[in-house]
Amino acid sequence: MKDLVKKVAVGLSTGALVAQSLILPAFAEISVVVTGNGSNSDNTSNIDVTKTTTVTQNNTAKVENDIDAKANTGGNDADDNTGGDVNIDTGNAEAAVVVENQLNSNEASVDCGGCPTDVNVEISGNGTHSDNDVNLGLKNTTWVTQDNFAKVKNDVEVKANTGKNDADDNTGGNIDIDTGTASALAVVKNKLNANVAHVGGSGEGALELKILGNGSNSDNTINANLANTVGIDQDNFALVDNDVEVKANTGKNDADDNTGGSVSIDTGDAEAGALVDTMANFNLAHVEDCCELDGLVKVAGNGTESDNDVNLDLTSALYATQDNFYKCGGHGWFPRWGELNLFGDWGRDKDCDVDAKANTGYNDVEDSTGDPGSDPSIDTGNASTEVEVSNEANSNVFSTGDAMPSLPDLDLGGEVSMELWVALFHLLMG
């Protein structure tokens, strides 16, 4: 059995995963009653309730993988021998590299608190010429900010060699160069930058505003301001530079200037495979109704020449911003980034390159003198390459309502064809 030379290098870089779940209390029941006050009284109630929830999640990851894997059974010399057979028989050479970069994930689940369970404001039964005011302000603000920055540079070189063998200037006997199989495989997977934000509601509320049965010439006012604001800001920034070189060689063998006997070169197969799978920048935001109010406003039974006002302001605002930037290679950075010198010269004048080469050729049998009727022979094995490059980047999903959507399948191997995996498995197992 031929000797086996196998080298496997694995680079694994795992970035930050930030998950945050907040369940916040809603406003308690609020009741404001101004009642039974005498004539000419001046009664004022000011209620201001503010609840602010801020969630900020930031990740920064910078990864540089420089991996060089080589497997070699070639480069053998058998020169200037006299008498007997000359044989170079190499074992197999297999080199495999797997690089996985999984960086930057934020997940936030926030109960926005919603509207109060019940709001009850009543001005009733106050005397003549009384001045009665209720000023009610309820403000609920929820803000979720998620930012990811990923800068990844993969420089991967994989070489498997059983070739480049020399058997030159030998006298007598048969000359035979028989190489093993050379298999080289590189797998680079980048999974970068995902944000998931869910802002949930907290049920329904009841609103009742009443001005009832106040005396003549009374001045009765209810000012109610209920504001609900939800803001979501999701940003992803990914810079990727993949430089992958895969080479498998069983060729470039020389058997020259030999005298006597037969001369043959028989190469094994050369197989090179590369898979580059990049998934970057995914945003998902889902907002349920934070406040549903059933309301009653009633002004009734007040005296002559009374002045009765109910001012109700209901404000609901939803802000959602989802931004993605993905760049593979270094051409065309925006000038302002260069001016800020955030990245220096990293990635400039480079593309995301994949170079896969399999070689069984470039074999020479020259100037050899063999036995009469013995022809020199060169018999090469198969040369095969398999390359798959998959880029999936920049996806935004935003929804409201009860149904919670989902991000695309982020399984790094999920989209790889079965045919490719069979080929890659064959490269590794021989």
Look at the chain and report how many structural domains it folds into: 1
The answer to the question of residue 66 being in a domain is yes
Rounded CA-CA distance 359/272 in Å is: 9
Rounded CA-CA distance 358/379 in Å is: 16
196 to 15, 141, 279, 350: CA distances (angstroms):
16, 19, 16, 32
Rounded CA-CA distance 273/246 in Å is: 7
Rounded CA-CA distance 331/348 in Å is: 6
Beta bridge partner(s), residue 242: 154
The answer to the question of residue 255 being in a domain is no
The answer to the question of residue 375 being in a domain is no
Report residue 229 CA to chain centroid gap.
29
Which stretch of 251-265, 311-325, 363-377 has the lowest confidence by average pLDDT?
Answer: 363-377
Rounded CA-CA distance 76/90 in Å is: 9
Rounded CA-CA distance 207/212 in Å is: 16
Q: Which residues of 319-330 are buried (b: 16+ CB within 10 A; e: fewer)?
A: ebebebbbbbbb
Structural domain containing residue 192: 4-248+270-365+385-429
Q: pTM, whole model, 2 decimals?
A: 0.76
Tokens of 135: 């000023």
- When pLDDT is cut at 50, 70 and 90, the band that residue 176 belongs to is very high
What are the tens digits of pLDDT across the range 296-318?
888 999 999 999 999 988 888 88
The answer to the question of residue 373 being in a domain is no
What are the tens digits of pLDDT across the range 107-157?
888 877 666 667 899 999 999 999 999 999 988 888 999 999 999 999 999
The answer to the question of residue 371 being in a domain is no
Rounded CA-CA distance 211/121 in Å is: 9
The answer to the question of residue 260 being in a domain is no
* Three-class secondary structure of residue 311 per DSSP: strand
Rounded CA-CA distance 160/272 in Å is: 9
Rounded CA-CA distance 256/47 in Å is: 100
pLDDT of residue 424: 46
pLDDT of residue 202: 63
The answer to the question of residue 241 being in a domain is yes
Q: Write out the H or E segment, with its range, that includes residue 302.
A: none
Residues 177 and 252: beta-carbon distance below 8 Å: no
Among residues 271, 246, 244, the alpha carbon closest in space to that of 354 is found at: 244
The answer to the question of residue 261 being in a domain is no
pLDDT of residue 131: 95
Rounded CA-CA distance 136/306 in Å is: 22
